[in-house]
Structure 1
Amino acid sequence: MLRPAVIPAWSAALLVLLLAIFPADALRASLRGLSIWWEVLFPALFPFFVISELLLGFGIVHFFGKILDPFMRPLFRIPGIGGFVVTMGYASGYPVGARLTAQLWEQKLINRAEGERLVAFTTTSDPIFLIGAVSVGFFHSVALAPVLAASHYGGGLMIGLLMRFHDRKAPASLPANTGNSGSGPSGRRRSRLAEAVHAMHNARVMDGRTLGTLLQDAIQAALRLMIVVGGLVVVFSVIMELLRQTGSIEMLAGIVRLLLGFAGMPPALSDAVVSGIFEVTLGARAAGEAGGSGLMHQAAIAAFVLSWSGLSVHAQVASLLSRTDLRYKPFFLARLLHGIIAAALVYLLWSWLGPAA
Structure 2
Amino acid sequence: MPKTILLAILSILLVGSIIIQPDASFQASLQGLTVWWNIVFPGMLPFLVLYEIMLAFGLAHAIGALLQPAMRRVTGLPGEAALALVIGWLGGFPAGSEAVASLRKRELLSRAQGQRLLAFAHMPNPLFMLVVIGAGFLHKPIAGMMITAAVWASALWLLLIALLFRRRKQNETSADAPSEDGDRSVASAGLLSAFAQSLQAGREQDGRSFGKVLGDAVAGSVQKLMVVGGFMIFASMLARLSEPLLSPITEQGFAFLGPALFESHLGAYAAAIWQAPGGSAAFACAIIAAVLAWSGFAGILQTGYAITGTDLKLLPFIAHRLNHSLHAFLLTLLLWKPLSWLAAKLVTNGAFPAMLQGNPADYGAGGGIAVSDLPALWPMSLSAAGVLLLLALLVRFALGTGRLPGGKFR
TM-score tier (shorter): 0.7 to 0.9
- The one-letter code sitting in structure 2 at the alignment partner of 1:171 is S
After TM superposition, the structure 1 = structure 2 runs for residues 46-65 of structure 1, keeping only pairs within 5 Å, are: 46-65=45-64
The match for 1:248 among 226, 231, 245 is 245
Q: Is residue 2:264 matched to residue 1:280?
A: yes
The percent identity for this pair of structures is 31
Question: What SS does structure 2 have at the residue aligned with 1:7?
Answer: helix
CA distance in structure 2 between the aligned counterparts of 1:74 and 1:5, rounded to whole angstroms: 45
Q: Which residue of 1 aligns with 2:192?
A: 193
CA distance in structure 1 between the aligned counterparts of 2:337 and 2:320, rounded to whole angstroms: 27
Deviations 1:218-260, CA, capped at 9 Å, x for gaps: 122112201110111111111111112xx11213546xx6xxx
- The one-letter code sitting in structure 2 at the alignment partner of 1:311 is F
On the 8 A contact 2:48/2:221 being kept in 1, the answer is: yes
CA distance in structure 2 between the aligned counterparts of 1:112 and 1:252, rounded to whole angstroms: 39
Q: Which residue of 2 aligns with 1:202?
A: 201
On the 8 A contact 2:263/2:299 being kept in 1, the answer is: yes
Q: Which residue of 2 aligns with 1:238?
A: 237
- The one-letter code sitting in structure 2 at the alignment partner of 1:75 is V
- The one-letter code sitting in structure 2 at the alignment partner of 1:29 is A
On the 8 A contact 1:49/1:96 being kept in 2, the answer is: yes
Question: What SS does structure 1 have at the residue aligned with 2:189?
Answer: coil
Deviations 1:143-171, CA, capped at 9 Å, x for gaps: 21332122101111223234445797443
The match for 2:284 among 286, 298, 303 is 298
Q: 1:29 to 1:206 in 2, by over 3 A?
A: same
- The one-letter code sitting in structure 2 at the alignment partner of 1:66 is A
- The one-letter code sitting in structure 1 at the alignment partner of 2:272 is G
On the 8 A contact 2:96/2:121 being kept in 1, the answer is: yes
CA distance in structure 1 between the aligned counterparts of 2:55 and 2:160, rounded to whole angstroms: 26
Q: Which residue of 2 aligns with 1:172?
A: 175
Question: What SS does structure 2 have at the residue aligned with 1:197?
Answer: helix
On the 8 A contact 1:78/1:117 being kept in 2, the answer is: no
Q: 1:32 to 1:146 in 2, by over 3 A?
A: closer
Q: 1:252 to 1:106 in 2, by over 3 A?
A: farther
Q: 1:174 to 1:206 in 2, by over 3 A?
A: farther
CA distance in structure 2 between the aligned counterparts of 1:175 and 1:236, rounded to whole angstroms: 41
CA distance in structure 1 between the aligned counterparts of 2:330 and 2:315, rounded to whole angstroms: 23
Could you tell which deviates more after superposition, 122-131 or 144-153?
144-153
- Listed as ranges, the gaps of 5+ residues in structure 1 are 258-267
Q: Which residue of 1 aligns with 2:156?
A: 157
The match for 2:297 among 304, 311, 325 is 311
How many correspondences in the alignment? Answer: 334
CA distance in structure 2 between the aligned counterparts of 1:4 and 1:38, rounded to whole angstroms: 34
- The one-letter code sitting in structure 1 at the alignment partner of 2:279 is S
- The one-letter code sitting in structure 1 at the alignment partner of 2:209 is T
Offset of residue 182 of structure 1: 4.1
- Listed as ranges, the gaps of 5+ residues in structure 2 are 346-410
On the 8 A contact 1:79/1:173 being kept in 2, the answer is: no
After TM superposition, the structure 1 = structure 2 runs for residues 124-143 of structure 1, keeping only pairs within 5 Å, are: 124-143=123-142
Q: Which residue of 2 aligns with 1:16?
A: 15
The match for 1:337 among 316, 319, 323 is 323
Question: What SS does structure 1 have at the residue aligned with 2:61?
Answer: helix
What is the RMSD computed on CA atoms of the aligned residues?
2.4
Q: Which residue of 1 aligns with 2:351?
A: none
- The one-letter code sitting in structure 1 at the alignment partner of 2:285 is A
CA distance in structure 2 between the aligned counterparts of 1:280 and 1:230, rounded to whole angstroms: 13
- The one-letter code sitting in structure 2 at the alignment partner of 1:10 is I
Offset of residue 71 of structure 1: 2.5
Q: Which residue of 1 aligns with 2:116?
A: 117
When normalised by structure 1's length, the TM-score is 0.86
CA distance in structure 1 between the aligned counterparts of 2:311 and 2:249, rounded to whole angstroms: 33
CA distance in structure 1 between the aligned counterparts of 2:330 and 2:227, rounded to whole angstroms: 33
